Chain A
Amino acid sequence: QVQLVESGGGVVQPGRSLRLSCAASGFTFNSYGMHWVRQAPGKGLEWVGVLSHDGINKYYADSVKGRFTISRDNSKNTLYLQMNTLRAEDTAVYYCAKDSTSGPIGGDLDCWGQGILVTVSS
């Protein structure tokens, strides 16, 4: 079955960097775009960004543009989120999610990881 497992979260000081990983299994990883979505404690969902199946096209929410970078290693079936210049407001559970459409990014998220908590605090 499709499975997504995030790792790499933890506590980090403001201004520092952190990289999250998302290990995928159960589907042809290199055929699907992949998204990151976050949820601040007690708050709603926020779309963070998406990377196309081939790793070429990347799009981000304004709130993270210029600070976060999504990448993937299709040989390892793994998605990454590099987070730089972290702020307190980046504190959230971060989910990776699989796009529902094979090939071009469709946008719907049909499979989600369990989420990983990132806390930005001094």
Chain B
Amino acid sequence: QSALTQPASVSGSPGQSITISCTGTSSDVGSYKLVSWYQQHPGKAPKLMISDVSKRPSGVSNRFSGSKSGNTASLTISGLQAEDEADYYCYSYAGSSTWVFGGGTKLTVL
């Protein structure tokens, strides 16, 4: 149950697109289409943004999209807005009914 690997920080200007990677192993990300992404603003509870690699829950902007290739999942945010500035965490099924988070990525909107 080792944490998934994410970049510590990414940044982009308003209107631009950014991508956050999430690297796991063949025991978690690589084996299941069960990767989700959470957004967390300072002092707030996390919010589900993407489930099952690429599905957007109701109410989540279509500027958020997800994908996966091999052991690496990605979250792309297009048309960056100031309100997107937050921490983002990937989360994957890791087998045996256990789950694991990534270390988190701080997104700064310049």
Q: Which residues in A have some Cβ–Cβ distance to B below 8 Å?
A: 35, 37, 44-47, 50, 57, 59-63, 95, 100, 105, 107-110, 112-115
User: Can you add 18 more A-B contacts, CB < 8 Å, to A47-B91, A47-B100, A109-B46?
Assistant: A37-B46, A37-B101, A44-B87, A45-B40, A46-B3, A61-B98, A100-B48, A108-B48, A108-B51, A108-B52, A109-B38, A109-B48, A109-B91, A110-B57, A112-B45, A112-B46, A112-B47, A115-B45
User: For the complex, what is the distance from the CA of A108 to the CA of B36, rounded to whole Å?
Assistant: 7
Q: Which one of B46, B87, B99 contacts A107 once the chains associate, using CB atoms below 8 Å?
A: B99
Asked if B66 is at the interface (CB within 8 A of a chain A CB), the reply is: no
Q: Does B104 contact A (CB under 8 A)?
A: yes
CA of A47 to CA of B101 in the docked complex: distance in angstroms?
7
A95–B45 Cα distance when bound, in Å, is 8
- Is there a chain A Cβ closer than 8 Å to B34's Cβ? yes
Measured between beta carbons, the chain B residues less than 8 angstroms from A108 are 36, 48, 51-52
Interface size class of B (residues with CB under 8 A): 20 to 34
Mark interface residues in B51-79 (1 if CB within 8 Å of A CB, else 0): 11000010000000000000000000000
Please, which residues of chain B bring their CB within 8 A of the CB of A45? 38, 40, 46, 89, 91, 101, 104
**In the complex, what residues of A have CB within 8 A of residue B101's CB?**
37, 44-47
Q: A46 — which chain B residues lie within 8 A by C-beta?
A: 3, 101
